[in-house]
């Protein structure tokens, strides 16, 4: 029975549903903090995978540095010593320190994640430290890649031109989130009496209710979790491959300084300069794009702002970054694995045909009509991957239990 003056859509006292928000002192801030910590807790196994792979590639890169080692004892150097120490001393120091920092940061993240899993922690200062150590790990990987993959001014400038926009965007995004959070906190204090008893606001100052104000929006559905996991897995895959390929240039390195070349320089750069530059740009773009997705997934507020946005254009940035990363891997493979023009063109044609077929299948599978806009791809691609993931995992689990 409805009570006089009752608000439509809100249950009476004693009949509050499980999803109803019950206002309490400081509950809005506590709920936001808990939601952000749950995002990190949900990503812990993927972060563990990322740090294991990062620790692996940095370990291998430290033992087998870019530029290779001297093959003989001549000119004051010893066999087995790093070539870059002699030919590019400052560049080698930048690579060595950054690679070591990334290696140690990955180890610290692994220990923090194992402690969080063992202690069953879902928030607190541990996850704040975890975020910043992960950011340090990723930034160290960027510096190590830039110093180890490039030799001359041109390649260094290209790497900086690709890396700088990512750093600028991440910095701008972080400052925007801090500004919005401060505005939200000040607004909550000013409107505490006005909004008392209403649904909480989101991290961006908008109401967390549904369109009719009757119920709160689900903050973390299964679909959102799948999107987040798929983005993280694809980004981890591209980051590790691009980092290893960038430090170990296809074609190897010159073992000595003769005939106009310099020891430690990529052989491909001297014999096929344009092909090497194309490989370097594609591989660096893939590395930077995938790394930016990982760092943004670790940023508070990004998950709510983009991954849960139902409008295709506003939800596209993370998927555009992943698509750029995958296309960069395709380009770097085509230019790095082939030496002739015909073989490179054949590989690119195969990839283009495969991409067109995949786009057509994705679109017809979800819309049953001809493709109209590329933005549909950014909307249907994660859903298609999620459906494939859901079909494959139960089968593997059933086989394992059988």
Domain ranges in the chain? 27-189+220-255+263-339
CA distances from 255 to 61, 91, 108, 208, 265 (A): 18, 18, 36, 62, 9
The tokens for 51 are 């740090």
- Residues in Cβ contact with 242 at an 8 Å cutoff, skipping those fewer than 6 apart: 283, 284, 286, 287, 290, 325, 328, 329, 332
Report the C-alpha gap between 170 and 135 in whole angstroms.
11
Indicate the helix (H) or strand (E) that contains 94: helix 89-119
* Cα angle for residues 228, 103, 149 (degrees, 5° grid): 90
What SS3 state is found at 69?
A: strand
Question: From the centroid of its chain, how far is CA 82?
Answer: 32
- Residues in Cβ contact with 225 at an 8 Å cutoff, skipping those fewer than 6 apart: 42
pTM: 0.66
Indicate the helix (H) or strand (E) that contains 182: helix 153-190
Task: Spell out a b/e string for 9-42, using b for 16 or more CB atoms within 10 Å of the CB, else e.
Answer: ebeeeeeeeeeebeeeeeebeeebeebbbebbbb
DSSP designation for 15: -
CA distances from 156 to 18, 100, 136, 217, 330 (A): 56, 21, 21, 47, 22
One digit per residue, pLDDT tens: the chain, 402 residues?
A: 455 554 454 444 444 444 444 444 455 555 555 555 565 566 677 778 888 888 999 999 888 888 878 887 777 777 777 888 888 888 889 999 999 999 999 999 888 888 777 766 655 677 778 878 887 888 888 889 888 888 777 877 888 788 777 667 666 665 666 676 677 666 655 555 454 444 334 433 444 444 444 333 344 566 667 777 788 888 888 888 999 888 888 888 877 777 777 777 888 877 788 888 888 889 998 998 888 888 777 665 555 555 555 544 445 667 778 888 888 888 888 888 877 777 778 887 887 888 788 777 766 665 655 444 445 555 555 565 566 555 544 444 444 444
Report the C-alpha gap between 70 and 82 in whole angstroms.
7
């Amino acid at each position: 029975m409805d009570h006089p003056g009752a608000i439509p859509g809100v249950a009476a006292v004693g009949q509050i549903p499980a999803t109803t928000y019950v206002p309490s002192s400081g509950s809005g801030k506590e709920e936001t903090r808990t939601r952000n910590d749950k995002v990190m807790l949900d990503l812990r196994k993927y972060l563990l995978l990322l740090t294991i792979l990062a620790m692996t590639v940095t370990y291998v890169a430290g033992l087998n540095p870019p530029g290779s080692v001297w093959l003989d004892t001549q000119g004051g150097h010893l066999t087995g010593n790093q070539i870059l120490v002699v030919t590019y001393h400052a560049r080698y120091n930048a690579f060595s320190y950054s690679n070591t920092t990334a290696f140690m940061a990955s180890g610290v993240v692994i220990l923090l994640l194992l402690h969080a899993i063992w202690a069953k922690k879902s928030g607190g200062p541990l996850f704040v430290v975890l975020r910043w150590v992960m950011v340090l790990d990723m930034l160290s990987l960027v510096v190590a890649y830039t110093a180890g993959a490039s030799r001359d001014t041109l390649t260094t400038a290209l790497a900086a031109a690709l890396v700088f926009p990512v750093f600028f965007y991440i910095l701008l995004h972080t400052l925007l989130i801090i500004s919005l959070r401060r505005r939200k906190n000040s607004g909550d204090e000013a409107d505490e009496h006005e909004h008392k008893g209403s649904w909480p606001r989101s991290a961006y100052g908008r109401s967390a209710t549904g369109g009719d104000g009757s119920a709160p929006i689900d903050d973390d559905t299964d679909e959102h979790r799948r999107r987040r996991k798929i983005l993280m897995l694809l980004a981890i895959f591209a980051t590790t491959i691009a980092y290893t390929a960038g430090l170990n240039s296809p074609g190897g390195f010159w073992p000595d300084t003769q005939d106009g070349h310099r020891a430690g320089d990529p052989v491909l750069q001297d014999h096929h300069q344009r092909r090497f530059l194309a490989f370097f740009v594609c591989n660096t773009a893939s590395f930077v794009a995938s790394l930016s997705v990982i760092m943004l997934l670790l940023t508070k507020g990004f998950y709510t702002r983009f991954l849960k946005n139902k409008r295709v254009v506003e939800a596209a940035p993370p998927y555009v970054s992943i698509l750029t990363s995958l296309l960069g891997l395709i380009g770097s493979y085509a230019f790095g694995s082939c030496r002739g023009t015909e073989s490179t063109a054949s590989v690119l044609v195969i990839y283009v045909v495969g991409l067109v077929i995949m786009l057509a299948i994705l679109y017809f599978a979800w819309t049953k009509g001809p493709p109209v806009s590329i933005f549909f791809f950014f909307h249907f691609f994660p859903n298609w991957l999620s459906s494939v993931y859901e079909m494959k995992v139960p089968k593997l689990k059933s086989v394992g239990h059988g």
